[in-house]
């Protein structure tokens, strides 16, 4: 008897493989320098690696507490207070997650109900929309325009409705490399104060901010933080995206709901990695304090090396991404241009239109500069020839 295979009706029919996976695979296939997917090509701190080995050797190899190991939650509370002037309760407000991706998914799943509206800003990071869709939410997108990608707060206010449940923001912003200022958070508060709206603030690049004002966190805003979930990632901070450890901070009542999702999504996160990160945060806080300078040097070197190319480089206020305008070089759309660049020039980049639901007719690509100097120099040499 033959059975026809069961093919599920997709809950996410429009989705394919992420652009990061696609472009990294294409880079590998063509032996191109991979400036597409955002990850460093150098290692994280030696001390962190040693502490991981230490904790493994000491037998810290069983389940961690569901919310995260106490030492790490305490270290996060201290760091948050030192940076943003607000000390979250390590027991009730901080949850360690399997990277920022899990925190974002758990937050959206906990807060968004069928029919709820969620506002985000396009270009937007690719993991938000599928999570909103799976929860039955309706995404309302505000398009930000290059080169400054600033929010039009009147347009934002016009989009608010009785159904608005959540606003998702990201600063420093992937992929535009712009940052929110304190005044943006004030404007957000003014707009939503009279509405029962939550805020999900993706701050995974909090330590890679080049703005004079420094990183403006939602946690530094006394009213907003009462209804916000902020999301961070140790993958960015410690150059080890493969460890997949992140966390979120939210008031107890919101955290309680988020934890209900987290405990059945992953239950708990890698124990020895959490302990190693706790040691690292306490022993070497200068690592993240010096991160802006570390990345500023790479950014400036790469910008300088591209200065006599035909790419026009946009301002970079934060993240380890640089936007380049290729209008002077090609009429191709950005997806085709990135494919061509990978195959013919040997440098892989990310097209910006994939982060937008509406047409994004600009000729912009994203280049990751979290790379060794030799990698950046070699990439710039190829790009200058275009
Ligand atoms: N948000 C943004 C804006 C990101 O760029 C990334 C990854 N680069 C994430 C979330 C996911 O972080 P993680 O790797 O810790 O899951
Ligand atoms: N966040 C990384 C980027 O923007 C990619 C993460 C992933 O591959 N999912 O490049």
pLDDT at 251: 98
- Nearest-atom number in ligand 2 for the CA of 368 is 10
- Atom 9 of ligand 2 has which residue's CA nearest to it? 20
DSSP assignment of 336-381, as one string? HHHHHIIIIISEE-EESGGG-SS-----EEEEE--S-HHHHHHHHH
Pocket mutation for ligand 1, best pick of 96, 128, 174, 205 (most atoms within 8 Å of C-beta): 174
Tell me the CA–centroid distance for residue 186 and ligand 2, in Å.
Answer: 29
* In a domain? residue 10: no
Pocket mutation for ligand 1, best pick of 24, 35, 95, 101 (most atoms within 8 Å of C-beta): 101
Region 95-118: mean pLDDT is 98
Q: Which of 236, 262, 282 is the last residue of a domain?
A: 282
- Atom 7 of ligand 2 has which residue's CA nearest to it? 20
Q: How confident is the model at residue 3 (pLDDT cuts 50, 70, 90)?
A: confident
- Nearest-atom number in ligand 2 for the CA of 21 is 8
DSSP assignment of 157-210, as one string? HHH--TTEEEEEEESSPTTT-----HHHHHHHHHHHTTS--EEEEE-TTTT-B-
What are 15-29's pLDDT values in tens digits?
989 999 999 999 999
Percent of the chain scoring above 70 in pLDDT: 99
Are residues 231 and 331 located together in one domain of the fold? no
Q: Report which bound ligand comes closest to the CA of 20.
A: 2
Q: Is the pLDDT of residue 380 over 90?
A: yes
Are residues 375 and 266 located together in one domain of the fold? no
Tell me the CA–centroid distance for residue 128 and ligand 1, in Å.
Answer: 11
Question: Backbone phi, then psi, for 147, in 5-degree steps?
Answer: -90, -10
Are residues 246 and 158 located together in one domain of the fold? yes
Are residues 62 and 181 located together in one domain of the fold? yes
**Cβ neighbour number for residue 84 with a 10 Å cutoff:** 21
* In a domain? residue 12: no
Q: Which of 76, 95, 147, 142 is nearest to 358 (CA)?
A: 142
Q: Which of 239, 262, 282 is the last residue of a domain?
A: 282
Q: How many domains does the chain have?
A: 2
Q: Does ligand 2 come within 6 angstroms of the Cβ of 47?
A: no
What are 169-178's pLDDT values in tens digits?
999 999 999 9
- Nearest-atom number in ligand 1 for the CA of 104 is 10
Are residues 215 and 195 located together in one domain of the fold? yes
* In a domain? residue 11: no
Q: Which of 256, 282, 308 is the last residue of a domain?
A: 282
Are residues 320 and 273 located together in one domain of the fold? no
- Give the HSE-up count for residue 177: Cα atoms under 13 Å, Cβ half-sphere: 25
pLDDT at 2: 62
Question: Backbone phi, then psi, for 125, in 5-degree steps?
Answer: -55, 145
Q: Is the pLDDT of residue 1 over 70?
A: no
Are residues 108 and 25 located together in one domain of the fold? no
Are residues 28 and 96 located together in one domain of the fold? no
Are residues 327 and 370 located together in one domain of the fold? yes
Region 271-281: mean pLDDT is 98
Q: Does ligand 2 come within 6 angstroms of the Cβ of 34?
A: no
Are residues 22 and 170 located together in one domain of the fold? no
Q: Does ligand 1 come within 6 angstroms of the Cβ of 246?
A: yes
Whole-angstrom Cα distance, residue 176 to residue 164?
A: 25
Q: Does ligand 1 come within 6 angstroms of the Cβ of 20?
A: no
* In a domain? residue 4: no
Range of the domain at 122: 45-282
Pocket mutation for ligand 1, best pick of 126, 168, 235, 350 (most atoms within 8 Å of C-beta): 235
Are residues 255 and 314 located together in one domain of the fold? no
Are residues 36 and 62 located together in one domain of the fold? no
Q: Does ligand 1 come within 6 angstroms of the Cβ of 112?
A: no
């Amino acid at each position: 008897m033959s059975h026809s295979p069961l093919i599920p009706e997709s809950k996410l029919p429009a989705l394919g493989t992420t652009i990061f996976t696609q472009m990294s695979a294409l880079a590998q296939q063509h032996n191109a320098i991979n400036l597409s997917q955002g990850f460093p090509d150098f290692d994280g701190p030696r001390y962190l690696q040693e502490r991981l080995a230490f904790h493994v050797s000491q037998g810290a190899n069983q389940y961690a507490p569901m919310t995260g190991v106490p030492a790490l939650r305490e270290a996060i509370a201290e760091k948050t207070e030192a940076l943003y002037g607000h000390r979250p309760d390590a027991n009730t407000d901080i949850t360690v997650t399997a990277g920022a991706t899990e925190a974002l998914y758990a937050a959206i799943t906990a807060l968004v109900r069928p029919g709820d509206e969620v506002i985000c800003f396009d270009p937007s990071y690719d993991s938000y929309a599928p999570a909103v869709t799976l929860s039955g939410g309706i995404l309302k997108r505000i398009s930000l325009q290059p080169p400054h990608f600033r929010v039009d707060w009147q347009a934002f206010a016009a989009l608010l409705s009785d159904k608005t449940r959540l606003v998702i923001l990201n600063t420093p912003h992937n992929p535009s490399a712009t940052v929110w200022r304190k005044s943006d958070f004030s404007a957000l508060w003014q707009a939503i104060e009279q509405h029962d709206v939550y805020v999900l603030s993706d701050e995974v690049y909090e330590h890679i901010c080049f703005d004079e004002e420094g990183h403006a966190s939602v946690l530094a805003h006394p009213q907003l933080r009462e209804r916000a979930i902020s999301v961070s990632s140790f993958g960015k901070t410690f150059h080890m995206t493969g460890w997949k450890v992140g966390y979120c901070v939210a008031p107890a009542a919101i955290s309680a709901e988020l934890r209900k999702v987290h405990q059945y999504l992953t239950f708990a996160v890698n124990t020895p990695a959490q302990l190693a990160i706790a040691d690292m945060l306490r022993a070497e806080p200068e690592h993240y304090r010096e991160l802006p300078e570390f990345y500023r040097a790479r950014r400036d070197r790469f910008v300088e090396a591209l200065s006599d190319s035909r790419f026009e480089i946009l301002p970079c206020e934060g993240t380890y991404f640089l936007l380049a305008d290729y209008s002077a070089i090609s009429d191709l759309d950005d997806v085709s241009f990135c494919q061509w660049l990978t195959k013919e020039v040997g440098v892989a980049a990310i097209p910006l239109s994939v982060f937008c639901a509406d047409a994004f007719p600009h000729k912009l690509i994203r280049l990751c500069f979290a790379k060794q100097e030799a990698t950046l120099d070699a990439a710039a040499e190829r790009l200058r020839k275009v």
